[in-house]
Amino acid sequence: MQRFPSQLLKGYNNFMSGRFSEQQQRYKALAETGQQPKTLVIACCDSRAAPETIFDSGPGELFVVRNVANLMPPYEPDGHYHSTSAALEFAVQVLKVSDIVVMGHGRCGGIKAALDVNAEPLSPGDFIGRWMHLLKPAAEQIQSNEVMTAGERQRALERVSIRNSIANLRTFPCVQILEQRGKLQLHGAWFDISTGELWVMDAKSGDFGRPGM
């Protein structure tokens, strides 16, 4: 017989006796008044880079959309299925978030796949390959760099990809207008899984550095 994963049930029990019981009033208030998160985070699906854990955030604090390699596609009102654009639209137009953070991370499998010239599609749909097309020009440029090691190439693309996603965010009219009005700020961040370090992108130069705490 099929069983619901026991590790999840155990975790849920811990949540109910721990965080939920401690913050019951907050959950209740959020249920009644609705959510008002100030920040949208665009993060990777990777199980090691969960934004709520990294930013130690409670219920109602972060609006999160996760996809393979934390990519923001460009504005394409073509009638196709755009889940990340839908989440962006809701966060900006309805929730009126003041900040958007594109958060990449080290050892990203999606970025690795984008750099792998011999990658075979996992299925006839080649959904990952098609999705990583968003990074094709940047990936090709980095692939041809023979001075860098494989690890350096990967880290370079992880960061170029964050800059790309931020540029793509600006192709959305709602983002462009609100940013010009000073009501919305776009940020890049990169999380190192092995050390826990968070690097943030300088808005002007696009370079990454450790944030001043």
Given the rule CB under 5 A, which residues bind Zn ion?
Answer: 44, 46, 108, 110
Q: How far apart are CA 93 and CA 175, in angstroms?
A: 9
Give the type of residue at 148. Answer: M
Q: How far apart are CA 149 and CA 171, in angstroms?
A: 33
φ/ψ bin of 74: left (φ > 0), alpha (ψ from -120 to 50), beta (otherwise):
beta
**Of the two residues 60 and 73, which places its CB atom closer to Zn ion in the complex?**
73
**Of the two residues 107 and 170, which places its CB atom closer to Zn ion in the complex?**
107
**Of the two residues 92 and 166, which places its CB atom closer to Zn ion in the complex?**
166
**Of the two residues 49 and 184, which places its CB atom closer to Zn ion in the complex?**
49
**Is 145 exposed, middle or buried, given 0-12, 13-18 or 19+ CB atoms closer than 10 A?**
exposed
| Residues sharing a CB contact under 8 Å with residue 184, sequence separation 6 or more, in sequence order | 92, 97, 98, 99, 100, 175, 178
Q: How far apart are CA 122 and CA 139, in angstroms?
A: 19
What is the closest distance, in whole angstroms, from the C-beta atom of residue 45 to Zn ion in the complex? 7
What is the closest distance, in whole angstroms, from the C-beta atom of residue 107 to Zn ion in the complex? 8
What is the closest distance, in whole angstroms, from the C-beta atom of residue 48 to Zn ion in the complex? 9
Give SS3 for 128. helix
**Of the two residues 62 and 108, which places its CB atom closer to Zn ion in the complex?**
108
What is the closest distance, in whole angstroms, from the C-beta atom of residue 61 to Zn ion in the complex? 22
**Of the two residues 100 and 128, which places its CB atom closer to Zn ion in the complex?**
128
Six token digits for residue 126: 């080649």
- Helix (H) or strand (E) holding 104, with range, is strand 99-105
What is the closest distance, in whole angstroms, from the C-beta atom of residue 115 to Zn ion in the complex? 13
Q: How far apart are CA 49 and CA 15, in angstroms?
A: 20
